[in-house]
Each structure stands twice: as C-alpha cells, then as structure tokens.
Amino acid sequence: DYVKQLREAGAKEVIVLHVIDDRKIPGFIGPDEGAPVSGMQVEKMITMMEEDAEKETRATEAELRESGFDVRVRIEKGIPFRDILRIEEEEEVSVIVVGSHGKGVVKEMLLGSVSEKVIRKSKKPVLVIKG
C-alpha cells in the first residue's frame, strides 16, 4: 500500500528485488541435527529458495502492475544489504523500500538487520515497511 502511494507522488517504475541470502546455503542442516548434507540436498534447497523467491516477487509484480507501475523483477543471490546497495547504484533508483521483519532485539543487536544496514549506507531515501 505504501508503494502505491508513491505512484500518487509521481513514481512510475518499481524494481522488485529479492535477494537469496547465500550465507544461509552452506549452513543448511538436514532433518537430523548434525546430519551431513549432500550436494543434491543443497541443490534442492537452492531450487526451493529460488522458486519461493519467484512466487513472492511475481505476486508483488502483479499487484504493482495493477496499480499502474512499470515493474521489473530481479532475483539475486548474495548478501541482501550489499546487493540492495549495489543495485541502488546500478539502477540509479530514487528511493528504496524495504521490509522490516522484527526478528527481536537480541538478534538485531548481534547481527544487525538488512533494513538498518541499508538505512545507514544508502545514498538514497529509505522507506521501511514494518511487516
């Protein structure tokens, strides 16, 4: 809904970006804790993550198109905040909209959040949507 309000403010194009956090892939643990993970299991997990990202971004794309935006979808693998900032530069965006998942105070203090890192390092305005 917030992004739709940007349309009223004159925004015409939206890049829907989903970054698959590749740091999570090597750390994947099988159904039994400590179980070894085969290459096939890792590939299957990557495929599932890509399919989930595709579903999420396509649903968002359809909703934004219905609101009158030109939409491009990008699915990347990497470190989310770094890729968001890289694409900010590549695409010369005017504003970044990120979601905040509220993972808890302790986790935020230890790891920091994607949205917090983007806010600190972005050269553009950042709109954080609590989700």
Could you report the per-residue pLDDT of 26-77, keeping only the tens digit for each? 655 545 555 556 677 778 888 999 999 999 999 999 999 998 999 999 999 9
Residue 14 pLDDT more than 70?
Answer: yes
Burial of 14 (0-12, 13-18, 19+ CB in 10 A): buried
Tokens of 1: 């809904």
How many whole angstroms separate alpha carbon 112 and alpha carbon 5?
28
**Pick from 76, 99, 73, 98: nearest CA to 86:** 76
Residue 110 pLDDT more than 50?
Answer: no
Q: Where are the domains of the chain?
A: 2-130
Q: What's the pLDDT score for residue 90? A: 96
- CATH class for the domain made up of 2-130: alpha beta
Residue 24 pLDDT more than 70?
Answer: yes
Contacts of 129 (CB under 8 A, 6+ apart): 2, 97, 98, 99, 100
Residue 131 pLDDT more than 80?
Answer: no
